Amino acid sequence: MSDLLSHLDIAGFIIATLVAATPLVLAGMGGVMSERSGVVNIALEGIMLTSAFAGYAAAVATHNLYLGVVVAIIAGMLIAALHAVLSIQFLVDQIVSGTVINILAIGITGSFYRTYIQNAELSGTGVLPALRLTFLPNAPFVGVITIAALVLIPVVHFVLFRTVFGLRTRACGEHPLAAETAGINVYFVRYMNVILSGALAGLGGAYFTLQQIGNFLPNMTGGRGFIALAAMIFGKWTPIGAFLASLLFAGADALSGRLQISGVNLPYQILGMLPYVLTIVVVAGAVGRAVAPAADGKPFKKRN
């Protein structure tokens, strides 16, 4: 057992967990913003996939990884805007609208991948630089998107709970009619939050291509957008809660990776199930005591 523990390398495990949590916490915070304003966002998966692709394509075209990140964020905002138009303006069932975007993301990235990446045999852009955190033991390297995600947690928390915009957001998510009566433009607030959630998830998408592997693979987000949603629920629709829940899921991910390397006598596929099974358990077990914003998922029809 002690042999196993030394294989696991606790400090390294914590850093690996933090890094693996990056897309989860970013998309999870996106989910928090969107749902706090009353719009369910199961499109996070598709937004991340599209942004991962767009960021990679831009980085290939411009030879600038940071420009790639910017394009990924913009792409995320555009796709999120489509979700906003469908679900806010045209009153489409928000789950259906999110599904449309998830399917669209597969179609767009798949089609363009074949034309621009697979056939052109573009083999990678390299990855964003990692910062060396010298104040930590072993001075680990951590990628800049992970650092950005950690910085954004208090920022999103502040916006949501300490600003007028945040107050209006939560009002629209709890009781849109009351908010409208008080003179708040519910559509505007919801649009802003959904588009901002696209920016956050877009940055999360950039993680996959520009920080993790420096390449694009079809369907590379692998359900992380849905796990982020579970993290949001487990974190009770708060940025900090979503972060802590993301660590749990990412820890399961990192653990399964490490157990495989350390030669534990379990098939890797069984270990690979771990984060997904954990998500199901958490969604089933924790949700009973987590309460969603009251108007979450309900289309709102303007009175005037």
Partner 1 sequence: MSRALRQRLFAAVFIPVISVACGFVVAGVAVVITGSDPLAAFTALFQGAFTNPRAFPETLVAMTPYVFLGLAVALGFRAGLFNIGAEGQFYLGAIFGVLAGNSLPGTPGIIHIPLALAFGMLGGFIWAAVPGLLKARFGAHEVITTIMLNYVAFQLTDFLINKGPMSDPHSTAPRTPFIDPGAQLPILLSGSRLHLGLILAVIAVPIVWFLLERTTIGFRIRTVGFSQGAARAAGISVAWTLVLTMGISGALAGLAGADEILGVSHYMPASFSVGYGFDSIAVALLARSNPWAILPSAFLFGAMRNGAAFMQLQTQVSSDLISIVQAIVIMFVAAPVMVRWIFRLREVPVGGLQITQRETTGVSSET
Minimum distance from residue 288 beta carbon to partner 1 (Å)? 6
Residue 37: φ, ψ to 5°: -90, -5
Outline where 143-286 has alpha helix (H). 144-162, 164-174, 176-181, 186-206, 224-234, 239-261, 268-272, 274-286
Contact string (CB under 8 A) for partner 1, positions 12-41, x = contact: -----------------------x----x-
Distance separating alpha carbons of residues 97 and 94, to the nearest angstrom: 5
Contact string (CB under 8 A) for partner 1, positions 220-259, x = contact: --xx--xx-xx--x--------------------------
**Of 4-12, 103-111, 140-148, 175-183, which part binds partner 1 (CB under 8 A)?**
103-111
- What are the beta bridge partners of residue 141? 132
CB 59 within 8 A of CB 72: no
Minimum distance from residue 105 beta carbon to partner 1 (Å)? 8
Structure token digits, residue 218: 């079809």
For helices 164-174 and 186-206, angle between their N-to-C axes, nearest 10 degrees: 110
For helices 22-36 and 224-234, angle between their N-to-C axes, nearest 10 degrees: 60
115 lies in the binding site for partner 1 (CB under 8 A): yes
From candidates 93, 177, 178, 261, binder to partner 1 by CB under 8 A = 93
**Of 15-23, 115-123, 136-144, 147-155, which part binds partner 1 (CB under 8 A)?**
115-123
- Give the total of residues touching partner 1 (CB under 8 A): 60
Distance separating alpha carbons of residues 30 and 98, to the nearest angstrom: 14
- What are the beta bridge partners of residue 12? none
The smaller minimum CB distance to partner 1, of residues 18 and 232, is found at 232
From candidates 59, 176, 279, 300, binder to partner 1 by CB under 8 A = 279
In the block, tokens 């910062």 appear at 131
Residues at the contact surface with partner 1, assessed by CB under 8 A: 35, 40, 42, 86, 89-97, 99-104, 106-116, 119, 218, 222-223, 226-227, 229-230, 233, 267, 269-270, 272-273, 276-277, 279-280, 283-285, 287-288, 290-293, 296-298
